Amino acid sequence: MRHYIAVFALLAAVYCEEVFNGDQVLRIHAESKKHIQILKELERDVDFGLDFWTNVVSTELPVDIRVPHARLYAIKNFLKENNIPFTVMINNVKELLDREREEMVHNAEMERKTKSFNFAAYHDLDTIYNFMDTLVANHSNLISKVNIGSTYENRHMYVLKFSTGGEKKPAIWIDAGVHAREWISHATAVWLADRIATDFKENRTPVPSILSQMDIYLMIVANPDGYVFTHRSLSEFYRFWRKSRSATSNPKCHGVDLNRNWDAEFGGPGASDDPCAEDYRGPSAQSEIEVKNIANFITDHGNFKSFMTLHSYKQLLMYPYGYVGTDAPDRTELHDVATQASKALNSWHGTVYKVGSIFHTIEQASGASVDWAYLRGIKYSFAFELRDTGEYGFLLPADQIVSTARETWFALRYIMQYVCDHPY
Ligand code: BHK
Ligand code: ZN
């Protein structure tokens, strides 16, 4: 009988984990070094099954953790026992997930019926790739699609090249979707592609003038394998995937953090050597084919003047360094440009972005792409953390896509114009 109960309890636990109903995201406000230490221990222990949406850094920054329903009671108690204050940021993750999924299904049906593309919706990889083909076909005088290689799971990696002609003109790089679960970055990049194309076609400033001086390379999905994985099923395990999908030295844990795998102080503090960690840096710099493809493309091109990467969430506009706290040589100028760009962004809907170096606004991070770009002489290197500040986190409702993209465009276009006006 006792065994029977034990088996039943186990089944119930497994069942609950599969259903995922009742997962919450807690926002934790550490108030002391001791609190930070306790939270760091929680973070290191992957077996707790907690999903850290933001990392434990300092008492200045809240920590958002998605807690599986089965652990909720224990974790809340644990926090209370240790006097660590927290609030419930998302009351039921499943509700938001269900809504997101329903909207996508409904939208796909609408798009099929009306044969149109809805920018206010999230899309899977195939749909984004089809969108790119249509855009290229409709703007063939401006846009071409460059295949820069294949992923670990053998998917194509595409970059959209916006060019009015000329050989290896100075160029601007923008990527999105490095982290698979940050869906607003892909969706923003989709909107941006269309905006750049239509602004050029309709001769709207400053796009034609920017494109007369520079080419723009836009990579909408920098981590296709991860992105496909986030669409695999309703389960949180998939939807909140961050890394690549490659095999690691630990058969239980897949994937490398593509923003810790670059040849920029690789292996230094600010990344993990544990394959099960969310910020696993990989076995060696550029071990990941996705990073290698992009790095080779940028190096072979040789004339990039600006490198920008779109992430979410936190509403930040950051510049190097991430790997160290000392100022980058161009810190003053980069801070100025970022401040002006964030003002431009703010002018649209009033969305507030903070500005600073990666190290000082988020945390120490080694092997990050912006540091790599900057260390290789691409001075105007920036990383965006798009909306929101935590109300929805990675589950930003689709009705915020267009406003997010539009305000981001204000910042991007300020930076692009600045880069054109400050040749080096
Ligand atoms: C952004 C750029 C460079 C280094 C770090 C970051 C912060 C970013 C990360 O790679 O951990 C945070 C994040 O994904 C959530 O978007
Ligand atoms: Zn990210």
Check whether residue 266 and residue 361 sit in a common domain.
yes
pLDDT at 10 over 50: no
- pTM here is 0.94
Q: Which long-range contacts (CB under 8 A, 24 or more apart) does 226-233 make?
A: 226/177, 226/179, 226/180, 226/181, 226/255, 226/258, 227/124, 227/125, 227/177, 227/180, 227/186, 228/124, 228/125, 228/153, 228/155, 229/180, 230/180, 230/181, 230/183, 231/124, 231/125
Say whether 43 is catalytic. no
- Examine the fold and report which residue of 60, 91, 122 is the final residue of a domain before the chain moves on: 91
Please, what is the average pLDDT of the chain? 94
Confirm whether 85 is domain-assigned.
yes
Check whether residue 105 and residue 83 sit in a common domain.
no
- Examine the fold and report which residue of 37, 71, 91 is the final residue of a domain before the chain moves on: 91
Check whether residue 31 and residue 169 sit in a common domain.
no
**Does 322 contact ligand 1 (Cβ within 6 A)?**
yes
Confirm whether 378 is domain-assigned.
yes
Check whether residue 207 and residue 146 sit in a common domain.
yes
Check whether residue 339 and residue 404 sit in a common domain.
yes
- In whole angstroms, give the CA distance from residue 301 to residue 266: 23
Check whether residue 86 and residue 197 sit in a common domain.
no
Check whether residue 22 and residue 166 sit in a common domain.
no
Confirm whether 96 is domain-assigned.
no
The CA-based dihedral angle spanning residues 300, 301, 302, 307, taken in that order and rounded to the nearest 10 degrees:
-110
Task: Among 136-145, 235-244, 301-310, name the one with the lowest average pLDDT.
Answer: 235-244
Task: Among 81-90, 231-240, 261-270, 347-356, name the one with the lowest average pLDDT.
Answer: 231-240
Residue 334's pLDDT band (boundaries 50, 70, 90)? very high
In the reported structure, the alpha carbon of residue 178 is separated from the centroid of ligand 2 by a whole-number distance in angstroms of 7
- What is the structure's pLDDT at 236? 73
Confirm whether 155 is domain-assigned.
yes
In the reported structure, the alpha carbon of residue 22 is separated from the centroid of ligand 2 by a whole-number distance in angstroms of 25
Check whether residue 126 and residue 86 sit in a common domain.
no
Counted domains in the chain? 2
Each residue's pLDDT tens digit, 184-202: 999 999 999 999 999 999 9
Two tokens, residue 367: 């092997």
> Which is the catalytic residue, given 43, 236, 385, 407?
385
- Examine the fold and report which residue of 91, 123, 156 is the final residue of a domain before the chain moves on: 91
The domain of 308 spans 101-421
- In whole angstroms, give the CA distance from residue 409 to residue 420: 16
pLDDT at 103 over 90: yes
**Does 186 contact ligand 1 (Cβ within 6 A)?**
no
- In whole angstroms, give the CA distance from residue 243 to residue 234: 18
Confirm whether 293 is domain-assigned.
yes
Residue 313 CA, closest ligand 1 atom number: 16
In the reported structure, the alpha carbon of residue 182 is separated from the centroid of ligand 2 by a whole-number distance in angstroms of 6
In the reported structure, the alpha carbon of residue 16 is separated from the centroid of ligand 1 by a whole-number distance in angstroms of 31
Residue nearest atom 10 of ligand 1, based on CA coordinates = 259
- Residues lining ion ligand 2 (Cβ < 5 A) are 179, 311
